[in-house]
Every structure is written in structure tokens, then in C-alpha cells.
């Protein structure tokens, strides 16, 4: 008997922000043990809930993952990628990428979520992190 669950295909639409400070550091978050990519780094943001406006999702995700309130947001473009999950399923992610012009608040880590650490990373050190592939591509194209 074939296990059809192992060949499931998922599509996910998300909103992510490129946030760079005056020192040239990029804001990244690390995936928690509860995520599909534990220990990997990604741009802050995430899935858009059913019926949710993409900008509202970006604001919500940034506050959840980093504690920051954002402003001066502008759409940069869209990236699409596919990646396998450990159970054999495939996820097709469509990522709306935004530039974050300003923010306020104190940077903090998310508690009990899909990420466990938020950090300003010098741009030249991003490639040394175990980041998801779209991060490098997003910074190359839009950063």
C-alpha cells in the first residue's frame, strides 16, 4: 500500500521584510526546534493567514518574531521556491518581499514560536550562517 501522505504538496504564501540598519546589518531570525527548519536563519516574516492582508501579516510577524513595530514599508518583489520536508512532502513558497524603512521598539526573541532568536547580522556574515536559500537570493536581488 502506498503512503500518499509522504508525497503531499503544500503551497504557502508569506510576507517577509528586509530590514537593514545604519551600520549595514540585516535583521534575521533563527528557526526554533518547533519549525520545519530548526537552526536555519531567515528574514523576519511568515505565512499570511487566510483572509489576512499581506502588510498586516508582515506587521504581525515582525512584532511576534522581533518585538519591533515597523513603518515605511514598500514592496520590493516576489520570490518563489520549493523545498522538501523531512516527511517527503514538498512545500512551494511564494514570498512577498518588503523593504522596511523604519522601526521602533526593543529587539527581543520570540517565545514559543517558529523562531527562537532575532539578531542584527553584519551583511558580510550572512553567507556564513545556515540560512535558508531564499535569504541570499532576496538580499542579492533586493537588498
Distances (CA, A) of 121 to 2, 41, 42, 95, 115: 45, 11, 11, 21, 16
Query: Which of 107, 110, 141 lies closest to 133 in space, CA to CA?
Result: 141
Could you tell me the three cell numbers for 105?
Answer: 521598539
Find out whether 69 and 83 touch, Cβ atoms under 8 Å: no
Half-sphere exposure of 80 (CA within 13 A, CB side): 3
Whether 2 shows a pLDDT value over 50: the answer reads: no
pTM, entire model: 0.91
1-21: average pLDDT: 81
Above 60 in pLDDT, residue 65? yes
| Residue 6 pLDDT grade (very low, low, confident, very high; cuts 50, 70, 90) | low
Tell me the three cell numbers of residue 27: 535583521
Q: Which three cell numbers stand for residue 104?
A: 521602533
- Three-state DSSP at 3 gives coil
In tens, the pLDDT along 12-32 reads: 999 999 999 999 999 999 999
The residues, any chain, with a CB within 8 Å of residue 143's CB and separated by 6 or more, are 18, 20, 26, 123
130 phi/psi in degrees, rounded to 5: -80, 75
Mean pLDDT of 76-94: 91
Of 41, 20, 24, the residue nearest 117 (C-alpha): 41
What pLDDT score was predicted for residue 83? 83
Domains of the chain: residue spans and CATH: 7-142 (3.90.79.10)
Tell me how far apart the alpha carbons of residues 117 and 3 are, in angstroms, rounded to a whole number.
36
Amino acid at each position: 500500500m502506498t503512503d500518499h501522505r509522504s508525497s503531499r504538496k503544500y503551497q504557502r504564501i508569506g510576507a517577509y521584510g528586509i530590514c537593514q540598519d545604519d551600520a549595514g546589518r540585516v535583521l534575521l531570525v533563527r528557526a526554533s526546534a518547533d519549525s520545519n527548519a530548526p537552526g536555519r536563519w531567515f528574514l523576519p516574516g511568515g505565512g499570511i493567514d487566510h483572509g489576512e492582508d499581506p502588510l498586516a501579516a508582515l506587521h504581525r510577524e515582525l512584532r511576534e518574531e522581533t518585538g519591533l513595530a515597523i513603518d515605511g514599508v514598500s514592496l520590493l518583489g516576489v520570490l518563489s521556491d520549493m523545498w522538501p520536508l523531512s516527511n517527503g512532502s514538498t512545500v512551494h513558497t511564494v514570498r512577498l518581499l518588503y523593504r522596511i524603512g523604519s522601526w521602533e521598539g526593543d529587539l527581543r526573541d520570540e517565545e514559543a514560536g517558529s523562531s527562537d532568536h532575532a539578531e542584527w547580522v553584519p551583511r558580510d556574515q550572512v553567507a556564513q550562517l545556515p540560512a535558508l536559500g531564499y535569504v541570499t537570493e532576496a538580499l542579492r536581488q533586493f537588498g
